[in-house]
């Protein structure tokens, strides 16, 4: 009978209201809603949802606990595999992973696994207590405090290792802190607590340490006694289009725009950080970062256009994010590709010159590749252009570490288990794959933790 209950809708902030503030868009379930939704789970013998989860979260088990009203029990099940459930419940692409594999989704709506995970995590924020093995005194260094580093550090700490995370910025969290906006992932309310949980496992986090500048992988291993290193430094280098006019004032990388607003809190009156949006903003790109930048600019008071060279069907961003962006009033200029940034006499952006595109033959990826329509150039007047074209790994570490190979895209070469070309040095997340998702990075961090444990037991 349970599956006759329709998926419990989740309450959200009104689009008109939220377009003017940085409060969280989604309110999440209350207890009553969560328990009702949890009762929909069929508790499959072969849970496809679990197989589809990059960290192997025991989904039916935690939902079963929740359905019985045992929230603490559900949290304990989650804590076995994830150190960031409040984050994942919010930013994971569940529709292509756990929920995308849910049996209920074949004929109807899948169980709202993400929203349930979020409910359990929020209800027990700061209360989860994972078991920690006795300290073994073996030092492991983790580079970067983003999702990959936090996941790797948590597992190693649980197994008794003496883990130090080195973070280049002044605040821990990596892309969760500088990249994902407050309205999708509240920092003080949610993220801070999950990072605190990692600290409670005796993981030390040293901020303001740039590996490759302040210290090197070699100095950590040779002089500071670290027996293994995990590199989870992400993909932080912004891409530009290399079109004329890109250095005019008012052209920013999405990284700069989002870092100013998220890490440096430009949206708050009491912080000194300046940010420039103006009355009209064009965001170039169609991924989650483009959506985040666009919705941030909107909240700062601008009219915002997403400029993307393919159609809405090909947008790489999550459906939910696109849907939220449309609801909030972001204008989508599809099949449009910038060819030049036009500046005024003072060197500030005044327009984005674009060409119309049409979809041609499918390329190797199976997607129809966009081709310019001849003679279709036109200008979109705008004050600001934000380039959200993807990011690549920062070469600071690979350039300063001997024996660490990178591929032609600048990504660290590593095995499935995370072993790099240098013994004792492991890597995972965006630093290896190029820009991907929070949960894939966490999965890679956990896999590497296992490999580090095996390596240290052998050596």
* 259 vs 420, beta carbon nearer another protein: 259
**350 near another protein, judged by CB under 8 A:** no
Beta carbons within 10 angstroms of residue 256's beta carbon: 16
**280 near another protein, judged by CB under 8 A:** no
Q: How far is the CB of 211 from another protein (least distance, A)?
A: 10
Quote the CA–CA distance of 79 and 85 in Å, as a whole number: 8
Quote the CA–CA distance of 201 and 158 in Å, as a whole number: 7
**208 near another protein, judged by CB under 8 A:** yes
* 16 vs 213, beta carbon nearer another protein: 213
Quote the CA–CA distance of 315 and 319 in Å, as a whole number: 9
Residues 212 to 231 in contact with another protein, rule: CB under 8 A: 213-215
* 10 vs 342, beta carbon nearer another protein: 342
**Among the listed residues 16, 31, 127, 170, the single contact to another protein using CB under 8 A:** 170
**69 near another protein, judged by CB under 8 A:** no
Q: How far is the CB of 55 from another protein (least distance, A)?
A: 26
* 393 vs 428, beta carbon nearer another protein: 393
Torsion angles phi and psi, residue 241, rounded to 5: -85, -15
Among the candidate windows 50-58, 125-133, 240-248, 368-376, which touches another protein by CB under 8 A?
A: 240-248
Torsion angles phi and psi, residue 392, rounded to 5: -130, 165
* 127 vs 170, beta carbon nearer another protein: 170
* 256 vs 333, beta carbon nearer another protein: 256
Residues 393 to 452 in contact with another protein, rule: CB under 8 A: 394-396
Which tokens is 359 given?
């979809």
First to last CA, the chain: 55
Residue 74 near residue 62, CB atoms below 8 Å? yes
- For residues 346-358, one letter each, b for 16 or more C-beta atoms within 10 angstroms of the residue's C-beta and e for the rest, the string is eeebbbbbbbbbe
Q: How far is the CB of 396 from another protein (least distance, A)?
A: 6
Q: What's 9's DSSP letter?
A: P
**Among the listed residues 36, 42, 237, 413, the single contact to another protein using CB under 8 A:** 237
* 277 vs 456, beta carbon nearer another protein: 277
**Among the listed residues 210, 342, 380, 413, the single contact to another protein using CB under 8 A:** 210
Q: Exposed, middle or buried by CB within 10 Å (0-12, 13-18, 19+), for 16? A: exposed
* 21 vs 207, beta carbon nearer another protein: 207
Alpha helices in 2-112 (DSSP H): 15-18, 31-38, 48-51, 59-67, 71-79, 85-91, 98-101, 104-107
- For residues 87-125, one letter each, b for 16 or more C-beta atoms within 10 angstroms of the residue's C-beta and e for the rest, the string is bbbbbbbbeebbbebbbbbeeebbbbbbbbbbbbbbbbb
Q: How far is the CB of 197 from another protein (least distance, A)?
A: 22
**253 near another protein, judged by CB under 8 A:** yes
Quote the CA–CA distance of 284 and 385 in Å, as a whole number: 7
Which residues of this protein are in contact with another protein, per CB under 8 A? 168-170, 178, 207-210, 213-215, 236-238, 240, 242, 246-247, 249-250, 252-253, 255-256, 259-260, 264-265, 269-276, 346-347, 394-396
């Amino acid at each position: 009978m349970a599956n006759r209950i329709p998926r419990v809708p989740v309450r959200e902030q009104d689009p008109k209201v939220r377009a003017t503030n940085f409060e969280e868009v989604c309110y999440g379930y209350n207890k009553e809603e969560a328990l009702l939704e949890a009762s929909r789970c069929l508790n499959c013998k072969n849970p496809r949802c679990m197989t589809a989860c990059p960290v192997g979260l025991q989904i039916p088990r935690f939902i079963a606990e929740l359905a019985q009203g045992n929230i603490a029990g559900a949290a304990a099940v989650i804590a076995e595999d994830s150190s960031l459930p409040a984050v994942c419940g919010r930013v994971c692409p569940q529709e292509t992973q756990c929920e995308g594999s849910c049996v209920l989704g074949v004929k109807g709506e899948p169980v709202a696994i993400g929203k349930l995970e979020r409910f359990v995590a929020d209800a027990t924020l700061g209360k989860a207590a994972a078991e920690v093995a006795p300290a073994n005194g073996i030092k492991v260094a983790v580079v970067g405090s983003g999702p990959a580093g936090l996941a790797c550090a948590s597992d190693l700490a649980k197994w008794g290792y003496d883990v130090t995370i080195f973070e280049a910025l002044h605040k821990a969290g990596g892309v969760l802190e500088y990249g994902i906006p407050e309205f999708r992932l509240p920092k003080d309310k949610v993220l801070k607590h999950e990072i605190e949980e990692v600290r409670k496992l005796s993981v030390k986090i040293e901020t303001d340490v740039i590996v490759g500048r302040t210290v090197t992988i070699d100095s950590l291993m040779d002089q500071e006694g670290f027996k293994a290193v995990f590199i989870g430094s992400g993909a932080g280098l912004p891409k530009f289009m290399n079109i004329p006019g890109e250095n005019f004032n008012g052209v920013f990388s999405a990284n700069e725009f989002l870092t100013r607003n998220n890490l440096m809190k430009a949206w708050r009156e009491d912080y000194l950080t300046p940010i420039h949006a103006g009355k009209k903003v064009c965001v170039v790109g169609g991924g989650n970062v483009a959506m985040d930048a666009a919705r941030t600019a909107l909240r700062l008071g601008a009219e915002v256009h997403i400029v993307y060279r393919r159609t809405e069907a090909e947008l790489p961003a999550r459906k939910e994010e696109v849907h939220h962006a449309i609801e909030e009033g972001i204008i989508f200029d599809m099949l449009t590709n910038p060819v030049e940034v036009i500046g005024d006499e003072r060197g500030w952006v005044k327009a984005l010159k674009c060409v119309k595109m049409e979809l041609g033959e499918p390329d190797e990826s199976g997607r129809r590749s966009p081709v310019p329509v001849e003679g279709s150039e036109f200008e979109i007047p705008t004050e600001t252009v934000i380039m959200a074209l993807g990011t690549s790994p920062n070469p600071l570490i690979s350039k300063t570490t001997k024996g660490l190979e990178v591929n032609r895209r600048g990504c660290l070469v590593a095995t499935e288990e995370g072993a790099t070309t240098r013994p004792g040095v492991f890597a995972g997340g965006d630093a290896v794959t190029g820009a991907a998702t929070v949960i894939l990075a966490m999965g890679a961090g956990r896999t590497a933790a296992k490999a580090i444990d095996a390596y240290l037991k052998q050596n």
